[in-house]
Structure 1
């Protein structure tokens, strides 16, 4: 059974028994909703998501492109590969570096 997480996203096709899964467990989401590209998924329940954004440099009155990497939790019911576009949502801190959870995977 997949529960409603309060965000308009496509839920996973499978189910899991992980208590930190936003769809099958009891993890609540709040705050930011970020999209990016998966750079690494070598860890067991974590992926590294890279997002690009532009920021204004006032000295030169121009914009520059910047990148940042965010560590996000991924449950067993979602399948992800390097290069996939994902949406991640902010949650409570799950570890020292993980404060986001993957909510949608698109090809």
Structure 2
């Protein structure tokens, strides 16, 4: 094994589903961060797009700090409110 294999963090669960890119808005929990991203939702009545925000808790295995742009991926439920894992810091 090379030195890079030893430094890679072990994933807590099998990852599946979609990837999302967002920013860390809170890193005050022990192993979890709050990630937020913006998305556009189409309103058929007014034929316009409106901005919505999504916020999720994600398991922090790459030591992301508040303000970092990160990529997260869905996983199995790791806690009551945690179903995502931070894959990398962008």
Q: TM-score range by the shorter chain?
A: 0.7 to 0.9
Q: Secondary structure at the match of 1:35?
A: strand
Q: Secondary structure at the match of 1:93?
A: coil
| 1:14 and 2:4 are equivalent in the alignment | no
C-alpha distance in 2 between matches for 1:41 and 1:56: 31
| 1:94 and 2:84 are equivalent in the alignment | no
Quickly say closer, same or farther: Cα 1:13–1:52, change in 2 above 3 A.
farther
**Which residue pairs with 1:79 in the alignment?**
63
Aligned-pair CA distance for 1:79: 2.3
Aligned-pair CA distance for 1:13: 8.6
Aligned-pair CA distance for 1:15: 4.6
**Which residue pairs with 1:69 in the alignment?**
55
Q: Secondary structure at the match of 1:99?
A: strand
| 1:57 and 2:43 are equivalent in the alignment | yes
Instruction: Structure 1 unaligned segments of length 5 or more: list them.
Output: 3-10
Number of equivalent positions: 89
Aligned-pair CA distance for 1:12: 9.3
RMSD of aligned alpha carbons:
2.3
**Which residue pairs with 2:21 in the alignment?**
35
Aligned-pair CA distance for 1:81: 1.4
Instruction: Structure 2 unaligned segments of length 5 or more: list them.
Output: none
Question: What whole-Å deviation, never above 9, does each CA across 1:77-104 have from its counterpart, x for those lacking one?
Answer: x222111100001111001110000000
Question: Where is the helix percentage greater, Structure 1 or Structure 2?
Answer: 2
